[in-house]
Amino acid sequence: QDPLAPHPAGEGGLPGCIMEQPEGPTRELTIDEAVSFAIALQKSGQLAGAQELYRRVLDAAPERADALHYSGVLAHQQGRSDEGIGLIERSLALVPDQADCYSNLGILLQSTGRLDAANTSFFRDGCIDGSARRWSSGRSGGSSTRPRCSSRRPAITTAPD
Give 24-82 pLDDT, tens digit per residue. 677 899 999 999 999 999 999 999 999 999 999 999 999 999 999 999 999 999 999 99
Q: How many angstroms separate the CA atoms of 16 and 5, rounded?
A: 7
Q: Could you give the angle at the alpha carbon of 76 between the alpha carbons of 154 and 2, nearest 5°?
A: 100
The predicted pLDDT at position 38 comes to: 97
Q: Is the pTM of this model over 0.75?
A: no
* Mean pLDDT within 116-143: 61
* Mean pLDDT within 137-160: 37
**Are the beta carbons of 125 and 102 closer than 8 angstroms?**
yes
**Are the beta carbons of 104 and 73 closer than 8 angstroms?**
yes
**Are the beta carbons of 34 and 56 closer than 8 angstroms?**
yes
- DSSP strand E in 22-113: where? 26-28
**Are the beta carbons of 103 and 122 closer than 8 angstroms?**
yes
- Confidence band for 155, pLDDT divided at 50, 70 and 90: very low
